[in-house]
Amino acid sequence: MALAIVGARLIDARSDEPIDGDTLVVGDDGRIVSIGRSRGAIPAGATVIDAAGATVVPGLIDCHVHFSGRHERLEETLGVTYTESVGTMLRAGKVFLDSGVTTIRDAGGAPAGLKRLFAAGWPGPRLQVSATPISITGGHGDGMTPSGIDLDGDRPMTELPPGIADGPDEVRKVVRAQIRAGADWIKTFATGGVYSAMDSPGAVQFSLAELRVMVEEAALAGIHGVLAHAENAAGIANAVRAGVKSIEHGDGIDDEAIDLMLERDIPLVPTFQISYRMLEPDLVERGVTPPWAVEKQRALMADLDRNFRHAVERGIRVAMGTDGVRDEHLPRELTLMVQHGLTPRRALAAATIEAARLLGLGDDLGTLEPGRIADVLLVTGDPLAEPDLWSDPARVVAVIQAGRLVADRR
């Protein structure tokens, strides 16, 4: 059924000025038909949404989510079956959608079946998945603990194949297993990380030859490419030289890494939200963020702001990613990106235009234009003047995905 939004202020990240028009018409195919000031263009029988006083923006795109993640103590996590986990992931899809996130790239842990369920009509974002992230033995994706207990021992191998690989031949086989499992992307750990017990963010993981195998296999299979978790500058540089499509986190980025990313036009997905979330008192006091992870994250925070601001000043492309899990669904990342140096318009671009471009959806999503898929949000206030609104879930008053009203708080 056709739909029309009337009386709204329309903005996207192409300009600081509003789009000329207050009426957006969506056709039966879920694409924008027209934008203008004439309500005579509204088809007979169309659903009309009176958006007077609201701002219409494109649906948000989160390029780094973990549907399977959870902020729980280890003993709570170990008691959750895979069946329960899938049920929670499905519920999380609706929560993400209600918050205004209409498209997501899962960065590890979501099976391809979740993508198919959302595509078939289960309430949730348009989804791209990367199955199991690829890690070296003892790396950021290795679930082995110092006591010898493997936290990944209950993984459902058919939907989420193992991801540990050492050497080009093992890497090739493990990457092919993810592709067989339906991965749209290959996720790899080019460095150590914070939540892993056996390594540090300063560790460089995988050789250039191993990373190049991942990129080669992704290209041969015709999937989107490789995204690389990379905390330190050497790991970022390795991943970019290998040919990855995006750098995730990038807290320790330096000028050499920036030069390489600019030369190859590789975007940064900074994930500020998780950096702050894991240090919040409720997670620290309950031990959800263990003491050794608190220590590592606090060390990263010392340079995070300076490095990101420098990368932005040098012209690095930024795409939004929260590293959010199923109980972290606010698009607060836009607020944080502004606090760390992006203009409000560039933050909105990171969550729309740049994110759509990264995910290969730039011809369909990211702007308000005739012919684009009608993923749009109604928000109270002006995101270009008031970026803090993204930290308040009540400010997103309606969500439209592919022309369908999927959330309405008016």
Helix axis angle, 291-313 to 255-264, nearest 10°:
60
100 three-state secondary structure: coil
- What confidence score (pLDDT) does residue 158 get? 66
Residue 364: Cβ-neighbour burial (10 angstroms; 0-12, 13-18, 19+): middle
Does the pTM of the predicted model rise above 0.85?
Answer: yes
What pLDDT is stored for residue 388 in this prediction? 95
Strand stretches in 287-341, DSSP E? 324-325
Q: Tell me if 150 sits within 8 A of 164, measured CB to CB.
A: no
The pLDDT tens digits for 89-111 are 999 999 999 999 999 999 999 99
State the greatest distance between any 2 C-alpha atoms of the chain, in Å, as a whole number: 70
Q: Which residues are paired to 105 by β-bridges?
A: 128
Residue 209's φ and ψ, nearest 5 degrees, are -65, -40
**Interval 5-60: pLDDT, tens:** 999 999 999 999 999 999 999 999 999 999 998 777 898 999 999 999 899 999 99
Which DSSP string do the residues of 230-243 spell out, in sequence order? EEEHHHHHHHHHHT
SS3 at position 267: coil
Residues 6+ apart with CB under 8 A from 329: 92, 95, 96, 98, 99, 101
CA angle at 183 for the pair 377 and 317, rounded to the nearest 5°: 50
- Among 321, 362, 378, which Cα is nearest to 108's? 321
DSSP summary character for residue 135: B
Q: Which domains does the chain show, CATH number per domain? A: 3-58+367-408 (2.30.40.10), 60-358 (3.20.20.140)
And the tokens for 115? 């993508």
* 197-201 contacts at long range (C-beta below 8 A, 24 or more positions apart): 197/145, 197/146, 197/290, 197/292, 198/138, 198/139, 198/142, 198/144, 198/145, 198/146, 199/138, 199/139, 199/140, 200/296, 201/231, 201/232, 201/251, 201/252, 201/296, 201/299, 201/300
- Residue 68 CA to residue 328 CA, distance in Å, equals 12
* Regions in the chain scoring below 50 on pLDDT: none
CB 377 within 8 Å of CB 100: yes
Measured CA to CA in angstroms, residue 350 lies from 56, 259, 263, 300, 303 at distances of: 17, 20, 19, 23, 22
Rounded distance between C-alpha atoms, residue 72 and residue 39, angstroms: 51
Length of the chain: 410
